[in-house]
A = this chain, B = another copy of it.
Amino acid sequence: MLSATRIKQLRSLHQKKYRRHENQFLLEGNRLIDQALSADAKLFEVWMTQKNLDSPFGKNILQKFEEKKIPFSVAPEKIIRQMSDSLNDQGIIALAPIPVYEKYDNPPKMAIYLDGIADPGNMGTILRTAAWFGIKSIFRSHECVDPFNSKVVRSAMGAHFYFSHFEAISEEIVLGDYSKSGMEILGSDMNGSPIQSFILQTAKGWIIILGNEAHGIGETAQTFITATISIPGIDGMESLNVSVAGGILLHTLTS
């Protein structure tokens, strides 16, 4: 049985400062938690409604919890909702430690630099897409939305457990090293070379910079770019959403 103090403490994990202090975050929803298990994520504890447990999904996931010896309990819907940040009742919530990632050292062969991504849905979708295309190194500017925010976590669908590098670090350090190593530093822009005819100038490796939704790639990061790619579209339209543009770039670079 969860005490009121414990519920309050778990709820506090929806705020960045408590997440950082406790070094823990919450996962909500069947698909996300299932995906976290597939990625061998460590989970401290899971709470689930009786209704969800009685569903085919519930029976299946319960077996996985038992195999992995993850402490599990049934909690009333009301309590799950109190702990949840989502408007839609997900019927399951898990407490996980923030994964320990490798410290940045040398530029990895394929990486993404997130330069001020502000929207949690975009951040999560970019992480999910990166994991899908096998990118294990994500660096982010200090201006990005906190990636352990529950909306980011929901959209990322377990990608957090896939990365080797996932660090907030200044663009000067990371992009500076890519530059010194003669690796490709890619930006995306309406005036770049069309992606259909784009060719990497070196096999040493690359990093893609994805910029802020409203202001694009910042001035400092801009100075490091070695190649600008465009995704041609219809004249006069707004640009593509950053997670869609990122998906098209990653698909092209990895295929």
Interface of A toward B, CB cutoff 8 Å: 31, 35, 38-39, 121, 125, 128-129, 131-134, 155, 157-159, 162, 195-196, 214, 231-234, 236-241, 243-248, 251, 255
Kindly report which residue of chain B lies nearest to residue A126, judged by CB atoms: B244
Whether the pair A133, B234 counts as a contact (CB closer than 8 A) is yes
Q: Are B131 and A241 in contact (CB under 8 A)?
A: no
Query: Within 8 Å CB of A236, what residues of B?
Result: 38-39
Residue of chain B at shortest CB distance from A242: B125
Known: A31-B214, A162-B237. 18 other contacts (CB 8 A): A35-B237, A125-B243, A129-B240, A131-B237, A132-B231, A132-B234, A132-B238, A133-B233, A134-B233, A155-B241, A158-B238, A195-B251, A240-B247, A241-B243, A243-B243, A243-B244, A244-B246, A248-B248
> Is the CB–CB distance between A125 and B162 below 8 Å?
no
Chain B nearest CB from A214 CB (Å) reads 7
List chain B residues, Cβ under 8 A from A232: 255
Residues on B with beta carbons closer than 8 Å to the beta carbon of A121:
121
- Beta-carbon contact of A132 and B255 below 8 Å: no
Jot down 8 A-B pairs with beta carbons below 8 A, ordered by A. A38-B236, A125-B243, A132-B233, A155-B241, A157-B238, A158-B237, A244-B247, A247-B248
Closest 8 CB pairs of A and B: A244-B247, A132-B233, A157-B238, A134-B234, A125-B241, A35-B238, A248-B251, A121-B121
Q: Residue among A31, A237, A246 with the most chain B CB within 10 A?
A: A237
Tell me if A128 and B241 are in contact (CB < 8 A): yes
- Chain B residues with CB below 8 A from A240, complex form: 128-129, 132, 247
Chain B residues near A196 (CB-CB < 8 A): 255
Give the docked Cα–Cα distance between A131 and B214 (Å): 19
Given contact pairs A233-B134, A236-B38, A255-B232, A241 touches B158 in the complex (Cβ within 8 A)? no
Residue of B nearest to A125 (CB): B241
Which residues of B have CB within 8 Å of A157? 238
Contacts of A247 in B (CB 8 A): 240-241, 244-245, 247-248
Interchain nearest-CB distance for A162 vs B (Å): 7
